[in-house]
């Protein structure tokens, strides 16, 4: 049975972090299907075809890794689970300080948070990726952030399908 637009947005609106507009745009396009793979692709296409400003807002909707929002308990349920799966809720004081320093440097260089699909990664892997991606230029990092956001979305779809 097909979902109404409101039901679709209620179900899939959180797939892209704080960006229900993706589900709102995809809803009428996917009205005839319940195939999660088609829905995932249509939602990814909505992001890829969005304006640069809207894409930037999507990137900026993501929290810093091991950041203040995590410490304050202000992450979405999905982000909390994803960061915990990578052990970011168990950082040593030194690791926490390193994440904070990298978050600041990254924001200063790129103007948006470092985004990485961290599920099944360790803190060391994430820190290494952080440091490597600091070498990217603005355009490369913008595209990398969007690619990582699509990975996060796919993981969220998979979790939804399994759960």
Q: Catalytic residue positions? A: 62
What separation, in Å, do the N-terminal and C-terminal C-alpha atoms of the chain show? 19
Cα separation, 160 vs 163, in Å, equals 5
Cα separation, 152 vs 149, in Å, equals 5
Cα separation, 96 vs 42, in Å, equals 37
Encode burial over 127-150: b for 16+ CB neighbours within 10 A, e otherwise: bebbeebeeeeeeebbebbbebbb
Return the structure tokens found at 10. Answer: 């209620």
């Amino acid at each position: 049975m097909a979902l109404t637009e409101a039901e679709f947005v209620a179900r899939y609106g959180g797939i892209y972090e704080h960006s229900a507009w993706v589900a709102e745009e995809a809803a009428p396009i996917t009205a005839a299907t319940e195939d999660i793979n088609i829905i995932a692709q249509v939602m990814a296409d909505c992001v890829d075809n969005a304006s640069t400003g809207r894409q930037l807002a999507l990137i900026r909707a993501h929290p810093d890794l091991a950041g203040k929002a995590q410490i304050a308990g202000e992450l979405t349920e999905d982000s909390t689970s994803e960061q915990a799966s990578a052990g970011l809720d168990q950082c040593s004081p030194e690791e926490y300080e390193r994440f904070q320093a990298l978050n600041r440097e990254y924001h200063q260089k790129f103007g948006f948070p470092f985004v990485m699909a961290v599920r099944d990664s360790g803190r060391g892997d994430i820190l290494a990726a952080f440091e490597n991606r600091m070498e990217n230029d603005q355009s490369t990092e913008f595209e990398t952030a969007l690619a990582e956001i699509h990975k996060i979305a796919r993981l969220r779809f998979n979790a939804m399908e399994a759960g």
